[in-house]
Amino acid sequence: MSNLGYIGLGTMGGRVAKRLLAAGHSIIGYDLIKSKADWLLEADMKWGDSPREVAEKADVTFSMVTNTNAVLALTGGPDGVLAGLTPGKIYVDMSTISPAVSRDIAKQVAAKDAFMLDSPVSGSVETLEAGKLTLMVGGDEAIFEKVKPILLDIGPKATYVGANGLAVTMKIATNLSLGAQMLAFCEALLLAEKSGIKREVAAEVLLNSVIASPMLKYRGPFVLKMPDEAWFNVNMMQKDLNLALELGRQVNVPLPTTAVTNEILTAARGMGYVEEDYAVIFKVLAQMSGLEE
C-alpha cells in the first residue's frame, strides 16, 4: 500500500485513480471541478484543496490533464505541485504535453531535491477498464524501478524509454499513428460504401482483416454509432498531432500523413464536431463524399 496523490480526475485520470484505489493504495485527489471526484470520494479517496496540498500529503503524486498549459497551471504558483514537493518525493505526470516543457518542469522538481517521471499511457477507456493499459516512462531509471510496482497496478506493461521528456515524446509518436489509422480506415469504408457495399458489412470485413489494429477494433465501430461521451475528442487528438508536427520540424522528420489528418480534424472543428470523439473523421469524409447520415 502506498500513499499517493492524483490530480486530474477526468475520463481517464479518474479511472486510473480508481484502479489504484482498488489495488489498495491510499489516495488524495484533486480536480478543478470537484464534482468529477464524487464517485471516487464515495470509494474512500481523500480530497485535497489544491495541487500543493496533494503533493504535501502524498509520497508519489500523479497528474493527468488535458494539455501543456494545464500542467504548467497545476505545477506552478503558490498552490502548485512544485510548492508542495519536499526532498525525496516523486511527481509522475501522465499528461501528453510538450517534451521541452516536461523537461523544464523536471529540472524545477530536481531543484527541490525531488524526482519527476513523465509517464503517459497508451490505450482508451475500454483498454484501461480491461486492465490492458500500457505505460511508457521517462526520467531517472532508479526512480522508475521504485515506482514501477505502482505503475503495474495501473496496467500490465510499463516500459522505461530514457531520460525526462522521452516518454512523452514516445507518446506523441504513438498518437500520430492513431489519427492516421482512423483516417485510412474511414477512406476504405467510404470507398466500399459508395461502391454499393453496406456500411455495416464493410466495417465487419475491415475490422476482421489484417488492417485491424487493437485501436481500430475498439474505435472502428464508432463509425456505426458514436459514443455518448467522447473517449478522445477532436481537440485532444489535434493537440497531439500539433505536438507531433512541431517536434517533426525540430528534428527534421517529415510527417505527411500527420499533416493531412490534422487538416481533416480542422475541418471537423469547422463543422461543429470539436467535442466529438476523433472517430468523427468518418462524418467529415462522408459529408465530403456526398453521403448523408
Per residue in 15-57, pLDDT (tens digit) is 999 999 999 999 999 999 999 999 999 999 999 999 999 999 9
The pLDDT score that the predictor gives to residue 231 is: 86
In CATH, 3-163 is 3.40.50.720: yes
Confidence of residue 1 (pLDDT cuts 50, 70, 90): low
Per residue in 219-259, pLDDT (tens digit) is 999 999 998 888 889 999 999 999 999 999 999 999 999 99
The pLDDT score that the predictor gives to residue 200 is: 96
The pLDDT score that the predictor gives to residue 2 is: 80
Query: Where is 42: in which H helix or E strand?
Result: none
Per residue in 79-95, pLDDT (tens digit) is 999 999 999 999 999 99
The domain spans of the chain are 3-163, 170-288
DSSP 178-229: HHHHHHHHHHHHHHHHHTT--HHHHHHHHTTSTT--HHHHHHGGGGTS--SS
Q: What is the mean pLDDT of the chain?
A: 94
User: In this model, does residue 260 exceed pLDDT 80?
Assistant: yes
The pLDDT score that the predictor gives to residue 230 is: 87
Q: Catalytic annotation on 171?
A: yes
User: In this model, does residue 159 exceed pLDDT 70?
Assistant: yes
Q: Say which of 89, 171, 239, 283 is annotated catalytic.
A: 171
Q: With CA atoms as reference, report the closest residue to 90 among 45, 140, 49.
A: 140
Per residue in 91-106, pLDDT (tens digit) is 999 999 999 999 999 9
A 10 A CB-CB count for 263 gives: 12
Give the C-alpha separation, 31 to 6, whole Å: 9
Write the CATH number of the domain with boundaries 170-288.
Answer: 1.10.1040.10
